[in-house]
Amino acid sequence: MNTIRGIAAAEGIAIGTAWVLPHIDAEDEQGEGAEAAAEPERQKLKLQQTLERVRQDLEKVYEQAQAKHGDGTAKIVKGQILMTKDRSWIEGMARLIEEERVSAEFAVKTKVDELIRMFESMDNAYMRERASDVRDLGNRLLMRFKGAAYGGGEPFGGPVVWVANDLPPSLTVALDPDTVQAWITETGGRTSHSSILARSLGIPAVVGAGDLRERIRTGQTLIVDGGSGVVLVDPSPALLREYEEKRRKLAESSSRLARWKDEPTATADGKRIALQANIGHADEASEASRQGAEGIGLFRSEFLFMHRDDFPAEDEQLAAYRKSVESMDGKPVTIRTLDIGGDKELPYLQVPKELNPFLGYRAIRLCLDRPRLFLTQLRAILRASHYGQVRLMLPMICAAEEIREAHRLLQQAREELEREGIAYDPYMKVGIMVETPAAALLMDQFGGMVDFVSIGTNDLVQYTMACDRMNEAVARLYQPYHPAVLRQIRYIAEQAHRHGITVSLCGEWGSEASALPLLIGLGLDAISMSASSILGIRERAASLDSEYCAQLAAAALQCASQEEVLSLLNPSKIQS
């Protein structure tokens, strides 16, 4: 048995069969060797048949993606379907088989690799992004050569555990949680897209596990412990029984937590705190409601703009926002305006590559620089406010001028809708995300300019600690419990309350039970998290005393390091 350790991305235990998604450049062998050299016609027929099977697979994925997310997201798959019909590309592979006497598999690897290198070398960001689409298609072809569908459970007659460098685009747009029990990736961190997706779907995941190609083979039995970041390869019967028991207890815990679904969130002494959900797609709102969310604290609208080749139209955005609002049945839905940049790119924006994108042209900076793009989204959000309680949130704020300019454009959007006779809520609340030290330190001023604030700890931690949260080499410096971070949260809460507005937290840190006493003690009014975490956090809140939490937070603020803070949070010392 081998033990692999990575980053604990999404809690839960899965036991299943490994399904290793291949790397295009992982192997250089010519497949069937001498047999392939002697039978070029057979290899060309094999190529044609495989292309046809993959085309059929992709057409099914396209239909699923279109039904789930609409035409925009499905376009990424449409492009791959067209590639399987591209005559010049196919003829190039056939010539390679004929002239070099190689296998169909080797011809695909060679031509796909050529395309990847060509796209990656281009100056245009949109064209560089196409490299991931080509790699994704190449992986599908390789799997079909092995006689199996890409990422599915067909070879084993049931669910699988994905093992990949990262989650491929065409798999995530139509992901079926009933088929995929868990996933393990070589790259990524707790706040990467694959981690957030896993938590939103309630799927165990371990990410940032390093090179997995030599350590896991398709067909091996895996235990994935998403809570501890551990993967066990070919475990012994005794370990399988042990983890089956752990999984059974987790299921019992889930049944126990169900009683909290319709209960308000409050401490033992009656202090209320709202627990809301983070979502990336409108479909997730209904699941959040089923999990007892008291609202949507963060709708990451950028996912409407990603995995496509043009901007979503106003009506398409409206449909997504309206669906989420109606799913929440009167509870608040906080929609964050487009937060692109850093680790999230829109290739069709054609923004030049930056040396440090996390400190560059992103989020509100980009939107204010492209007012027509921003106005389209503002109009869609305003129109959605007619159907329920919508709140608009501006990301990456650093200066008062940004808030004033956003308000000006929002007023322009209101006036446009009024002239057109389109209904909206004129009292829709507008807030900001506080995710930079600049915004935190200026809360005494910003608090009077907005209706609410939400602390984005994913970025606030990395900017405070000068630590790229996607860089595994400095992951140890990503410290949400550091006193420098806690002091900012406390100041933000104090200043927000002084101005009579609410303060929430919407970073992934909010889903950690160990952080809850601190967050309550620091004065938060609401916490937004992955929907699957809500009931456990609600149960934990009911066991806490708010005065004790305040004392704990006060002690943490006097600490000098994260280690000292964590020592205060030792479970044996936390009142329960």
Cβ-based burial of 329 (10 A; exposed 0-12, middle 13-18, buried ≥19): exposed
Q: H or E segment at 290?
A: helix 283-290
Please spell the DSSP secondary structure of 144-207, one letter per residue. Answer: HHTTS-TT-SGGGTS-EEEEESS--HHHHTT--TTTEEEEEESS--TTSHHHHHHHHHT--EEE
Question: Which of 281, 307, 367, 506 does the annotation list as catalytic?
Answer: 506
Question: Which of 23, 193, 386, 407 does the annotation list as catalytic?
Answer: 193
Q: One-letter amino acid identity for 483?
A: P
Q: One-letter amino acid identity for 457?
A: T
Nearest alpha carbon to residue 485 among 502, 514, 512, 505: 505
- Told to judge if 398 belongs to the known catalytic residues of this protein, a careful annotator would answer no
Q: H or E segment at 133?
A: helix 125-145
Rounded Cα–Cα distance for residues 448 and 245 (Å): 53
Pairs from 355-362 (Cβ < 8 Å, separation ≥ 24):
358/459, 358/462, 358/468, 362/396
**Do the Cβ atoms of 4 and 233 come closer than 8 Å?**
yes
Tokens of 526: 């609401």
Query: Any idea which residue has 């446009």 for tokens?
Result: 416
- Told to judge if 559 belongs to the known catalytic residues of this protein, a careful annotator would answer no
**Do the Cβ atoms of 456 and 476 come closer than 8 Å?**
no
Taking phi over 0 as left and psi of -120 to 50 as alpha, with beta for the rest, 388 belongs to: left
Rounded Cα–Cα distance for residues 335 and 349 (Å): 21
Tokens of 79: 């492009």
First to last CA, the chain: 38
Residues 6+ apart with CB under 8 A from 201: 175, 177, 532
Rounded Cα–Cα distance for residues 478 and 465 (Å): 7
Q: H or E segment at 5?
A: strand 2-5
Rounded Cα–Cα distance for residues 108 and 326 (Å): 47
**Do the Cβ atoms of 312 and 304 come closer than 8 Å?**
yes
User: For 98-124, what is the HEC assignment?
Assistant: HHHCCCHHHHHHHHHHHHHHHHHCCCC
What is the set of active-site residues? 193, 506
